[in-house]
Amino acid sequence: MSLNEQTKAIQSFITKHSKVSDIPARELSDFYIQLIDCLVDHNHQYYIEDKPLISDKEYDDLFSYLKKIEEAHPEIITSNSPTQGLIGQISEWFQQAKHMTKLMSLENTYNAQDLKERDTRAKKIVEKNNSQVLSGGSLKFSVEPKFDGLSVELIYEKWIFKQAITRWDGRVGEDITVNMKTIKNIPQKLKDPIDISVRGEILMPKSVWKEINKEREEDGETPFANTRNAAAGSIKLLDSAEVARRGLVCYIYDVLKIEDGKLKMDILQFLWLPVFKWKKEADTIDEVIKICLDEKVKKELDSQDIEFDGLVIKVQNEEQREIIWATDHHPRRAVAYKFPAQLAATQVLSVDFQVGRTWIITPVANLEPVQLSWAKLQRVSLHNFDFIKDKDIHLHDWIWLQRSGEVIPYIVSVITDRRTGEEKIIHPPKVCPSCNEAVMQKDMHYYCVNEHCPEKTKQQIQHFVSKNCMDIMGIGESIVDLLVENKIIENIADIYKLSDPTIQIQLRKFPWFGDKKVTEIAKGVEESKHKALRRLLNGLWISHVGKKMAQDIASQIEEGRWKIENVDNLEKAITDITFLDSIYWIWEKTVESITTFFHNKHNLKLLEQLEKAGINIDPNKYTDLIKASEAKGSFSITGSFDLPREKIAELFQQQGYLLHESPTKSTDFMLIGEKAGSKKKKAQELGLIIYEWRESITKQFPFLKTIITETNKPKTQSLF
């Protein structure tokens, strides 16, 4: 029996026997062992495989029922029970390490009634032990965000970072010190030379998660279902350089152990440890409930770049906290209120197949339109046929749909109880949906092997002309469709035919191609010939080579004094293993994909066509990024503006300023627009100079005067 089938059987048993007393005596012992085995296996799936099969609430319901059995029948408790310490979390890759103080897990609650009952029990404990500390007959609380990441203990000795240990069973964890040192917001040295042990949460920002998932899908890998899985999978990689590339962050929220007399409310911030600055206070449990149920609170947290799955409610008064204390497994002085999962039920109407730039054919489900998290959803990726098999998805199935990170729709599970017998198996494609050529299967994926597949060509061209690549204005998706379908261009090199007068005459025969449009495209094509090499490398769509890696490769060629006069020189330089190994943070997959790309005859022929068209391949020409040593200063930018952020950043770069994608200690200032989020908070924490986007900024940066004046002009409006 699979874990999924075992879980369903246990859930059905619990539904039938809602009270432990309802369980027949002859079945109790066997069911107790089955429930333990089930929870242990789910712990392993969650903590080690990073592939949870059930929701947090489903797990909590099973765990809660286990505790009820043990409370009613303490004589049968076994040391293997998850209530005696989490089982199934041990990884074979990392050394074990003992925690200085036991790391307990919070109990979860999902409704107001449970919060009120907990408040009543806690007050009784306080009254019984010391009623004088119960101010006004009420407990006072603080409410903080509950991070959806991986719990970790950080140990500092005489202000130096010494060790990082994952939670495991709360007593013993995995030593991830080396990987933890790659997380940039964790200080290697504290402000004050003290010994301290703190607890925090390792997280992957939503913006990073989206980029990594995009790369994984393009490379044929299954995307991470959520940021927690991504963070857990990343921090346990064996390659620390790759961990550093994953952009993880960590926030500290508790002091576990500290030198006597040193503890104070703001100790974490005082020591320069990263703290997420969002907190509310409540004088009664009713105020706590009001905060928990306030939709504005959830929306505010959803707008952040990190994921939260609820709120942590803590008793504020230290004396009250000491009296309430904890059980063996959970602290009673704090509880986690979990946000209801944003799920919606809908039906799979049909399945389409899409061809991507990397030749992979991806199944996409068309859904009965459904509203979820303020968005109307009609399509969801099925990723690959392993995903379809694991989720047991059929055509016409009803499914539970979730928006991971409030962004990407994701199928959580099939609602098997709603099956009617009309459902059909989803079969893989036999031919490419774009060119009708035969497909090839490799592992979980199906590929179109036709090098001239129109859909693949369209996507490659759209990428090549995009802002971060050759930045050719006027060639949007509809224009690309028209050009490829009419066989005016058949590859990225053919784009340079568009400046040919003969081709331009042909273009004017099509809709949308007036003189102005044709001139705009021709101008963009000519200007793109004089762009930096990094843009071409990004535009070629080499697997694992994005904007940053393309920039690093071009810079390394330039610094290495390579003489690039033709495609042969470029190919020799860029496939030199010694050269590739010298690039900071490059990894094996990237090296392999670069060498494979430049040893492919079709790709080399394409590069020769681009060279013949006059495109720049010399890293020493048209370097549009200023070097740090030559810059006037460095800046970062966040928020919404009246004009594209890229344009503002470009103006600053033209004036000799260096752009930092995210603010760091070495960043000089931050430009802030409306609705600024986590980057603004980070800049404030770092103490950077902050400039709000308004006319007064032109006193500091006169070159902005023209564009700010332009955006402030009153716009002509219709009377109707």
Among candidate residues 204, 225, 200, the one with its CA nearest the CA of residue 306: 204
Which runs of consecutive H residues, i.e. helices, occur in 346-488? Answer: 385-391, 454-464, 477-485
H or E element in which residue 400 lies = strand 398-404
Dihedral over Cα of 261, 266, 270, 274: its sign: positive
Give the Cα separation of 362 and 368 in Å (integer).
Answer: 20
**Phi, psi at residue 215, to the nearest 5°?**
-65, -45
SS3 718: coil
**Phi, psi at residue 55, to the nearest 5°?**
-75, 165
* Whole-Å CA distances, 499 to 25, 179, 531: 85, 51, 16
Give the Cα separation of 13 and 65 in Å (integer).
Answer: 11
The answer to whether the CB of 54 falls within 8 A of the CB of 84 is no
Burial class (CB in 10 A: 0-12, 13-18, 19+), 319: middle
Q: Which residue, chain included where needed, has tokens 């929701």?
A: 55
Paired residues of 543 in beta bridges: none
Give the Cα separation of 248 and 481 in Å (integer).
Answer: 38
H or E element in which residue 314 lies = strand 308-315
Q: Return all residues near 509 (Cβ < 8 A) that are at least 6 apart.
A: none
Give the Cα separation of 248 and 269 in Å (integer).
Answer: 20
Give the Cα separation of 59 and 11 in Å (integer).
Answer: 10
Give the Cα separation of 66 and 550 in Å (integer).
Answer: 54
Residue 104: DSSP 8-state: P
Dihedral over Cα of 601, 596, 457, 455: its sign: positive
Kindly give the pairing relationship between strand 343-355 and strand 141-147: unpaired
| Segments of 581-620 assigned E as strands | none
Q: Return all residues near 510 (Cβ < 8 A) that are at least 6 apart.
A: 482, 486
Residue 470: DSSP 8-state: T
Give the Cα separation of 151 and 581 in Å (integer).
Answer: 34
Give the Cα separation of 247 and 243 in Å (integer).
Answer: 8
Residue 223: DSSP 8-state: P
Query: What is the b/e burial string over 682-713, where b = at least 16 CB atoms within 10 angstroms of the residue's CB?
Result: bbebeebeebebeeeeeeebeebeebbeeeee
Among candidate residues 88, 1, 6, 80, the one with its CA nearest the CA of residue 40: 88
Give the type of residue at 172.
V
Q: Write out the catalytic residue numbers.
A: 146
Give the Cα separation of 648 and 2 in Å (integer).
Answer: 55
Give the type of residue at 279.
K
Among candidate residues 294, 305, 288, 324, the one with its CA nearest the CA of residue 247: 305
> Number of helices (H) and strands (E), helices first, in the chain?
26, 24
Paired residues of 203 in beta bridges: 249
Among candidate residues 334, 158, 159, the one with its CA nearest the CA of residue 253: 334
